[in-house]
Amino acid sequence: MAETLKVVVTGAAGQIAYSLLFSVAKGDVFGKDQPLELLLLDITPMMEVLNGVVMELMDCAIPLVKNIVATDDPMVAFKDVDAAFMVGAMPRREGMERKDLLKANVKIFKAQGQAMDQVAKKTVKVIVVGNPANTNGCILSKYAPSIPKANFTCMTRLDQNRAQAQIAAKLGVSNEQVSNVIIWGNHSSTQFPDVAHASVTIQGKTMSVPEAIKDDSYLNNEFIKTVQQRGAAVIKARKLSSAMSAAKAACDHMRDWFVGTGKNWVSMGVISDGSYGIREGLMYSYPVKIQDKAWTIVQDLKISQFAREKMDATAAELSEELDAALAECEA
């Protein structure tokens, strides 16, 4: 059997973690033969709740889980970890934008970056879920300078899954028949869900999504807005933010990072190297391919004027967020 993999989940007493931990524990992410040590981090007042989660994880009696550590100490939680799901942060309520969480959440990521820098493996693979996810991801990486920047990512997979599901429903096909939908930019209402390069296979024939949908007005308006506003729509209906779908997306993201993407691409927030004219250093969602646990940005896609404007608008929001977050961290 493989060596035990150490996986930390922060915000482990919260609602996303409640779904996420079950999927991780039963092998959906790292494989059905991969033994796991689960490190669960939350804040001190949540330790009793967290203890209940630990009891339930034990009661699942899952053979892959070799050890569970529940703690309020980041230095314990991040010690020698191989993979980190950074979920612990305040969620937004109805009427808020995700960037309204910046003041409350960004310092969490500064402190956790500093702890990771000291005790995590230098190969740790990190997904930031807590909002504003892209900017928190940048801050985490900044305060963990001994860990390569490529190891820090943030989650836009939920947006990708939402976009894919909207297209599949519109065409009356199943989700796996739709591929290569792209989310550009920020996990916010300025994100750009782009299907110009996406394809769909219907009755054995593969064609581009715009060709199959035959309704550019829908794709350029209602479709984009639905995906951009989906998180808010869930909050309005549930009075709580997405949790089951967020946990599923975090699993998809991390599984693809460990296993690879094959010929398709997926969207992840990664630290920009300037690709597609985006400011270097922003955590911007791009289409990526993954092989041997390393991602590369899909290059040379043809960008229309319509797309260019949307990609730049979401980059401008990210620039503002990052500047505000850096000021907050230095205050």
Ligand X SMILES: O=C([O-])CC(=O)C(=O)O
* Residues 130-169 within binding reach of ligand NAI (CB under 6 A): 130-131, 133, 155, 158
Contact 279, 138 (CB under 8 A): no
Contact 166, 223 (CB under 8 A): yes
CA 60/CA 67 separation, integer angstroms: 13
Q: Which stretch binds ligand NAI (CB under 6 A): 37-45, 63-71, 189-197, 318-326?
A: 37-45
What x-and-dash track marks residues 116-135 binding ligand X by CB under 6 A? ---------------x----
Q: Which stretch binds ligand NAI (CB under 6 A): 23-31, 85-93, 173-181, 211-219?
A: 85-93
Contact 83, 305 (CB under 8 A): no
Closer of 129 and 138 to ligand NAI (Cβ): 129
Is residue 321 a contact point for ligand NAI (CB under 6 A)?
A: no
Residue nearest to ligand X (CB): 231
Contact 171, 147 (CB under 8 A): no
Q: Which stretch binds ligand X (CB under 6 A): 50-58, 214-222, 235-243, 302-310?
A: 235-243
* Residues 171-230 within binding reach of ligand X (CB under 6 A): none
Among 91, 94, 129, 96, CA closest to 235: 94
> CB under 5 to 8 A by kind: which of ligand NAI, ligand X, none does 113 bind?
none
Is residue 314 a contact point for ligand NAI (CB under 6 A)?
A: no
Is residue 14 a contact point for ligand X (CB under 6 A)?
A: no
3-state secondary structure string, 203-222? CCEEEEHHHHHCCHHHHHCH
Contact 65, 38 (CB under 8 A): yes
Q: Is residue 93 annotated as involved in ligand binding?
A: no
Using the 8-state DSSP alphabet, how is residue 186 labeled?
-
Told to judge if 187 belongs to the known catalytic residues of this protein, a careful annotator would answer: yes
Closer of 152 and 199 to ligand NAI (Cβ): 152
Query: Least distance from C-beta 95 to ligand X, angstroms?
Result: 11
Using the 8-state DSSP alphabet, how is residue 188 labeled?
S
Is residue 13 a contact point for ligand NAI (CB under 6 A)?
A: yes
Residue nearest to ligand NAI (CB): 14
Is residue 231 a contact point for ligand X (CB under 6 A)?
A: yes
b/e per residue 116-127 (b: at least 16 CB within 10 A)? bbeebbeebbbb
Q: Residue for token digits 């951009």?
A: 228
Q: Is residue 92 annotated as involved in ligand binding?
A: yes
b/e per residue 152-185 (b: at least 16 CB within 10 A)? bbbbbbbbbbbbbbbbbebeebeeebbbbbbbbb
CA 325/CA 239 separation, integer angstroms: 27
Closer of 128 and 212 to ligand NAI (Cβ): 128
Q: Which residues bind ligand X (CB under 6 A)?
A: 91-92, 98, 131, 158, 231-232, 234-235, 241-242
- Which residues does the annotation mark as catalytic? 187
Q: Which residues bind ligand NAI (CB under 6 A)?
A: 10-11, 13-16, 41-43, 46, 87-92, 108, 129-131, 133, 155, 158, 187, 241-243, 246
Annotated binding site: 42, 92, 98, 105, 129-131, 162
